[in-house]
Each structure stands twice: as C-alpha cells, then as structure tokens.
Structure 1
Amino acid sequence: MSYTIQDLEKVKAYIKEHLIDSVEIGFADINGSIIGKRLPARFLLEHMTSGTGVCRAPLTWDIQSEYFSTSKFAGFEYGASDMILKPDYSTLREIPWRKGTAFVLADLDIDTGERIQVAPRQILKNVLARLENIGYTAKVGSEIEFYLLDENKRSIFGGKQAYSIGKASQFSDIIDQLQRNLEAFNIPVEAIHTEYGPGQIEVIFEYSDALTNADNTIIGRNAIKEIARKNGLYATFMAKPWDTESGSGYHLHQSLWTKEGRNAFAEDKNVLEQYAAGLLSGTSEFMALVSPTVNSYKRLTDMSFAPTKVGIGYDNRTVSTRLVGHGNSTRIEQRTGAADANAYFLIAASIASGLYGLEHKLPASRLIEGNGYFNDELPNIPRTLKDAAVLFDKSEKAIEYFGKDFVEIFSELIHFDISVHDTTVSDWERDRYLENS
C-alpha cells in the first residue's frame, strides 16, 4: 500500500486526538491468530512507512507455534528469514477497553518491498482482484459460534439454550461487553445470541465487502478472547470441545455485486447458478481450508446442523450450501466451515469456488428438498482431515487460485497436524486399554 502525505497526517492527527501512546501492529498467522508487535506511538510516527520486521515462521507454523517448515519461503534450511510488517492505516483503531492503545493490521512484504503472496490476507486479496477482473465485487457476512467457559474451562451455563433471551439476560454483563466493545472497536455486529450447546454463543459480523469482513472477523475473534479473559472467562473457537455437545461452525453468507451496485445474484439467474455450482465443485477440494484441524471434523455428524453432504437447497440447513433471500437480499450460505478456520482462507475458498463456476460456466445444480443427510444421491463431505488433505494436495483449483507455494505450505501444515494427532496417546486410550491390556 502506498501512503500520501495527507494519509500520514491523518494518522498523526488520530494518534494525537485519541492520546495514543502505544500501537499494536498485527497480522493473521497461517492459523488465523492475530500476532505482531507493540510499538510506542512515538516510534511509529518516526518510521511510519518503513514498517517493522518479524520472522516468516508464523506463515508456516502450527497452532502451538511449532516450527517445522521445509519450504524455501520460511524453512531453517533457507535461513528462516525476516518479513516486514507494513501497516495498513485504513484499519487503525483505538482499542476501547485499553484506552491509549491502538491497533492496526499489517500487510507483509519481503525486504525488497515485494508483497508476500502466501500471506493469508494477500491470498484473499488476490482472489478478490481476480473476481473484480470479471466485473464483480463480493459482499459477505460471517456467522461464528464459540463457547464461553469459566476459570475451570467449563461451560458458563448448561443445556441447549439456543436463542434464549433469558440466558442472554442472565449473562448480560459479558454479552453486553462483547457487543459494545466490538462496536466501539469499529467491528459492526449484526447480532449476538445463545446457540445450541451449553455456554455456546454465536456472533454475526455485519455484511460488508469481503476484505473488510475478513479483517473484522480476524480482529473480532481475537477481541472476544481478550474481553472474555478480562472477565475471568475463556472464549474458545475450537470446533468440537466436547464429544457429546454441539460443535462450533463458521457459516459464510455471500453475494456478488456489479460495478453499478446491484446484486448480481438477483439480477442474473445464470450468475447465481454458475456461482452456486462452483461452490459445490470446490466444497470437498477446499474442505481443508475451511475445516483445518483434526478436531474440525468431529462436528460433522448427521442431524447436527453441521453438513455431511455436498448439495444446495433453498433455505435448507441439511446440506452444505443454502440459498436464501429475495431481491437484493439474495445470497448463498456456505455451511462447511469450522469456527477454528482462518477467515481469510475460508472466505477466499468460497469466492474462488464460485469464481471457478463463473469462469467455467458450470451448469445449474438441482435444488435439494427435504432431509439432505440421508440423500444417497449426494456426495459425502470429507469426514476427516486425512481425507480432506488428499483432495487438497491434488487440487488443481487450489494451485490456480492460491498459488503452488501456498498449497505446499498449507499441505505441510495439515499433514503435520495429522501426524501429531496420530502419534499422541490420549486419555481415552489410557482409560480403555491401560488396565485391560
């Protein structure tokens, strides 16, 4: 991103007006966690266009920061080089629960100034640019479920309490804080409500252009976890914390818009049908991107509100893809995502799939009626990360839309997650076999 003198003057004025003394410069690592550096505002003002350096490892390491990469981009064999955090000052905002501290998202460059193409935010930007080349922009809305836990990491309330006004009122202290702080943090919220599991909450980030929504989702998820801890609670976006309770999903609503500001899905049936067909064609190939951990797949069970079949139906929650709305509200909901997904990848995967449908003019898919869980004509969604990894590894779509380097890095990540799982001895195994073997 280039900066004009006027842009920089606005940033300086904002920092001065809000009495900012520290600025956190953050970015999403490959797992979707916000990491970065905290700088004195004075230092930032003195070096606003040069950025600050960090190791490239976060674009390859696992969810516990285990560093195993063999890639030329970041591996030890190639020096584990630096990258430069370049602030995108359009995302600068004060952190409302930590007055005097601001946050800004960064894009990532190598030291020559070239943008890093495997960075999560850039992956999405590249897909959106390709979409724009054929005349469309994308708007999306993110719905994400999470659990609120007490200090002992148990659910803050019991039972199935979906849409409960009573439970929301009972725990209004934390829910009000989440809503008010997110709004004050310039993250518009459409709704917060209790969900199907005990202590489970859903937050809906307001419909907006795809990049803004991805930024807000990434920042908002981090904010929810921080606000919860300040209240003696934990917020977890783990996809399936308990085997007997509801899993946490990430549902993505999406629509395409013309340069004239009209909903292309409402305006042109062919655009809607081709995009929807593309979504279905990419569902299984990109499953590893939208459900990226071994645990993600444990939420995919029949009759659970999580999909197990690839199909599309009008206002039908029993298949992977749900067509909803009329006129300007016409949109498609992709229901395959797990709450632990990186928002940049999940949104990029959906839009790239739909874009593939448009570019290849895929024929319309039949709308599924009734219970899709037991429709034997529909393909199964991959039910394990191993199965999803096989499809992602050989996906020509993934290479075409995300690049070979990224596919190699992400494949290495998911195979590492699988290998750690396969060699870890669990409590379940000890309970089952220790005395009886």
Structure 2
Amino acid sequence: MLTVEQLRKKITADEIDTVVLAFTDMQGRLQGKLCHGQFFLDSMLDEGAEGCNYLLAVDTEMNTPGGYAISSWDSGYGDMSFAMDLNTIRLMPHNPGQVMIQCDLTGHDGELIPMSPRAMLRRQLDHAREMGYQMLTGTELEFCVYNTSYESAWDANYQNLEPANKYNVDYNILGSQRVEPLIREIRNSMYDAGMTVESAKGECNLGQHEIAFRFDEGLVTADNHVVYKLASKQIAHQQGKSITFMAKPNQREGSSCHIHMSLRGLNGELSFWDQERGKRSVTYDRFIAGVLNGMRELSIFYAPTINSYKRFTKGSFAPTAVAWGIDNRSCAVRLVGTGHSARMENRLPGGDVNPYLALSAMLASGLYGIEHELELEPMMEGNAYESGAQIVPATMREARDLLASSQLARELFGSDVVEHYLHYADVELEAFEAAVTDWELRRGFERL
C-alpha cells in the first residue's frame, strides 16, 4: 500500500495519472470514479467526492427499482459522500499509471450509511473489539475461465462458450499451466497490488481455477477480495478471455468461496485454542454454535443471488446440512488446524458472494454465540448429506422469508438494514419470476 505522500510524489513525477475512488455495492461490485491524478491532489484529496445514493439501491443490471427507503424520486435521489480510506491506496499494476483508493459511504451528516456493506462489516469488527477480539479471515474464491471474450460471450447469449480446460483439472499441474499465462498475470499483479499470494490450483469444473491469498484482518481481506475479483476480470479481458464468478455457471460443479475465520485477542492471544489442554476453547465452540444458529436466517448474506442456491445439491462438495465436523467437507462448517492455525471454514458461500456481507453475518452470529453462551451441538461424523440434519435454504425465496421473520437478524444488524436487503431480495425474485428462460423454451416451444 502507498502512503499519501508516496502517492503525491508518484503523481508529481508522472508515474501515476489516474486515481480510482471505489466503494463496494450490495452486489459486491466496485463502483466509483476515475479521477485525474493532479486534480485529485489539488481538490479531491481535501474536498472529497460524491455519488448518487441510488448506487446502494440498484439491481444487478443497474435498474433503479422503487421501494428503497434510502433512495427514491420522493427523496430526490441525493448524493452520498465517498469517505476515502487512505490506508487502502494501492497500485493497480495491470492498469499502468493507476491507483485505487477504497471508500466508505457517508450521508450529509458524515455518518456511515448503515446498509453499505463496508459499514456493516466495520460495525461488527467494532463490536468484536469491544468484546476484546480481532477477526482474522481468508476467502478462497473459485472461478471459471473461458477462451471467449466478454463481448463474444454476450453476443452468443452465453451459450457454447469455450472453457479454458476441456476436462477436470483439480490439482492437475498440466491443466493449471494450460491457463498459466492468465493465472500468472493475475497472481503477480495482485502481489504488486499489496496482497500476499499463496498459490493457484485447478478445480473440477471445465476451466475452473482458484488462487489463494494469505489470511488477514477482516476489513483488509474483504477489500482485497473485491479488488482481486475486479482485476481478474480486467486481466482476462485484456487477454481476450472471460472469467465468471457465478456460483453455478452450468450443470457441473459450482464455484465456491470458502471463508476461513478465527478470533484472536487484541494483542494476538489465541482465542480459539486452549494451549494448556491442547484442545478447542469454550470461546471457539460458542462461536461455532452462533454461526450455525444464524446460518439459515442469514443465508441471504452468504448466498445473495437466485443462482447461489443452485450449488446446494447432495454430493456436490457444496453443503446442504447445517452441521459441523472436523475436516469433514460434507458439512457447512468444517474445522481445521490446531493451535495458532485453528479456524473454522464456512463452506456455504459461492463465488458470487459479497465478502463484506458474508463476513458481517459470520462474525455477528459467532459473537452472538459467545455473548449468549450457546452450546455447540454434537459433531457430525460421516456423510452429512444423508444425516437428516437441518438443511440450508433451497431457494432465494425461502432464504428471503427466513430473513424476514428473523429477530436475530434485526438484533444483529438493525431493522433498517434488514428491510433494505429484504427489498433487494424481492427485486431479484420479481425479475427472475417474470423472466422467460431458455429452459422453458427448450421444453415447451414445440412439445407443449
């Protein structure tokens, strides 16, 4: 990351000419402005920037549906301020001459807008600190690569795209290196953008891959996640390819975003492990119990699209059972590591997840488990798919209704935030239920 003074020197020396001010919207996308470097120094660094508050009230296609309390014609579609986090100034090496600064969103009163995803995570991280904890987390994000440009994919109505691998390349070095020119550029660019890159590997679906990054503090991990997602698409575009982070882009294996999380004391003390007894701590068990307790009701924050729920099928390595197990990939929560590496893995989210929302839900419900001393249910042994355990919602409609009736969600996030994301779900459901799909055409055009 760059300091303000380092950025000033690079702009003055004509090494940087563009400053991107970006915030994360409900869908987990970076939105904002590209600013001329010298104008940024002369005016925007001190005076700030604004954007229309409809940006927190749009659907995936940037339509502006009614019904949001935050933004409407009745309220005049006013502005919100981009509050720059000057700890996030980073080079964007794949776009020479460019840096990005990530922003919070504030109203005219200077207060954070509560339904902004970054503000939601900040609130939960503050709560954790008040309880004496810091959160460490990492997101493992999978994607599918196609040898088809985004423009050509659009023109083809996303049908018959050419995957970068023709067969399952899970852990396969030959298959991974077939795509290495792209994957290598993403890895190296993200390293130069301030991320700690660990490794890359092939996955099961055709053209499916994963790049892993080292865990970090919660806000840093979420910020890195959305920058990486944007940059990956931009680099793919530069190479005439396309990448999708859809949870279920076809009938084969879906793309996951497993989230690893642990708590530490404010000075780095272990919270999830009892060193003297050599086993999990009571705090850890209560945190797991809290996450499981809130998983169904908060599933909109883990699985935010219609497509998200297509992943949840038996035997797919995507979870269906709300259960926990030690190194058991059939459970929604998998425990791994001991001592300093002890952590829980939430296997529910897919590649389409908004990391701020998922981390907020996971941390909030886990802290609730600690505060209310929830007792951890017995460990799942064997195949959780066939266990008879409670299951995750099968559709967005079910997830929406669970959120609507959840007192837990209102206690954790506030009714204004819950109502905002309920309306988000309603908008998606209404659009989907009105659409005529290619599935319907193939089944009914001639035969019905």
Task: Please name the residue that 1:44 is paired with.
Answer: 40
Contact 1:32 1:218 in 2 (8 A): yes
Paired residues for 1:240-279 under 5 Å:
240-243=248-251, 245-267=252-274, 269-279=281-291
Alignment counterpart, residue 327 of structure 1, candidates 317, 336, 339: 339
Task: Please name the residue that 1:107 is paired with.
Answer: 104
Task: Please name the residue that 1:4 is paired with.
Answer: none
Q: Which amino acid aligns with 2:211?
A: V
Contact 1:146 1:235 in 2 (8 A): yes
Shift of 1:137: 0.4
Paired residues for 1:23-38 under 5 Å:
23-38=19-34
**Distance in 2, Cα, partners of 1:9 & 1:188:** 23
Contact 1:309 1:373 in 2 (8 A): yes
Q: Give the match's secondary structure for 1:49.
A: helix
Contact 1:92 1:105 in 2 (8 A): yes
Q: Give the match's secondary structure for 1:254.
A: strand
Q: Which amino acid aligns with 1:118?
A: M
Task: Please name the residue that 1:417 is paired with.
Answer: 428
Task: Please name the residue that 2:320 is paired with.
Answer: 308
CA RMSD across the alignment: 1.4
Contact 1:69 1:412 in 2 (8 A): no
Task: Please name the residue that 1:337 is paired with.
Answer: 349
Q: Give the match's secondary structure for 1:264.
A: coil
Task: Please name the residue that 2:137 is paired with.
Answer: 140
**Distance in 2, Cα, partners of 1:401 & 1:57:** 25
The 3 A distance-change label for structure 1 pair 216 and 18 is farther
Alignment counterpart, residue 187 of structure 1, candidates 186, 195, 205: 195
Q: Which amino acid aligns with 1:352?
A: A
Paired residues for 1:171-250 under 5 Å:
171-243=179-251, 245-250=252-257
Q: Which amino acid aligns with 1:59?
A: L
Paired residues for 1:85-96 under 5 Å:
85-96=82-93
Contact 2:167 2:205 in 1 (8 A): yes
Q: Which amino acid aligns with 2:255?
A: S
Task: Please name the residue that 1:393 is paired with.
Answer: 404
Task: Please name the residue that 1:406 is paired with.
Answer: 417
Q: Percent identity?
A: 32
Contact 1:312 1:368 in 2 (8 A): yes
Shift of 1:293: 0.8
**Distance in 2, Cα, partners of 1:115 & 1:310:** 33
Q: What is the TM-score of this pair, normalised by structure 2? A: 0.93
Paired residues for 1:55-94 under 5 Å:
55-94=52-91
Q: Which consecutive residues of structure 1, in runs of 5 or more, have no partner in the other structure?
A: 1-6
Q: Which amino acid aligns with 2:190?
A: L
How big is each residue's C-alpha offset from its partner over 1:13-65, in whole Å with a ceiling of 9 and x where there is no partner?
35446721110101111100111101111111122132111111121211111
Paired residues for 1:5-16 under 5 Å:
8-16=4-12
Q: Which amino acid aligns with 1:157?
A: N
**Distance in 1, Cα, partners of 2:6 & 2:179:** 39
Paired residues for 1:356-395 under 5 Å:
356-376=368-388, 378-395=389-406
Contact 2:11 2:38 in 1 (8 A): no
Contact 1:305 1:318 in 2 (8 A): yes
Q: Which amino acid aligns with 2:40?
A: L
Q: Give the match's secondary structure for 2:135.
A: strand
Shift of 1:10: 4.9
Which ranges of 4 or more aligned residues in structure 1 deviate by more than 6 Å? Answer: none
Task: Please name the residue that 2:302 is paired with.
Answer: 290
Alignment length (residue pairs): 429
Contact 1:319 1:372 in 2 (8 A): yes
**Distance in 2, Cα, partners of 1:18 & 1:354:** 47
